[in-house]
């Protein structure tokens, strides 16, 4: 349970950094690591070499 709560808090922190419109994604990078990233407007993580797993739309 602690791991899930850590993920949730980190995901929420990243999402709150978005100013204006954008998305926060849980992605897999090219090395197979999980990352939480923010993208602006309609950008997609696949354009940067990531595989998106989960997203939240912030605006």
Give the mean pLDDT of 43-49: 94
Nearest-angstrom CA–CA distance, 18 and 39: 8
Task: Annotate 23-48 with DSSP letters as a single string.
Answer: EEEEEE-TTS-EEEEEEETT--GGGG
Nearest-angstrom CA–CA distance, 4 and 58: 21
Please give the share of the chain, as a percent, with pLDDT higher than 70.
98
The pLDDT tens digits of the residues spanning 27-41 come to 999 999 999 999 998
Q: Do 45 and 52 contact (CB within 8 A), yes or no?
A: yes
> Which two structure tokens, joined as six digits, stand for 44?
């997609």
**pLDDT value for 1:** 61
CATH number for region 2-58 = 3.55.40.20
**pLDDT value for 58:** 87
Average pLDDT, the chain: 93
Q: Do 57 and 42 contact (CB within 8 A), yes or no?
A: no
Q: So where are the chain's domains? A: 2-58
């Amino acid at each position: 349970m602690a791991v899930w709560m850590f993920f949730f808090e980190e995901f929420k922190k990243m999402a709150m950094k978005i100013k204006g419109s954008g998305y926060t994604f849980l992605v897999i990078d090219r090395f197979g690591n999980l990352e939480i990233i923010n993208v602006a407007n309609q950008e997609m993580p696949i354009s940067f070499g990531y595989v998106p797993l989960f997203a939240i739309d912030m605006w």
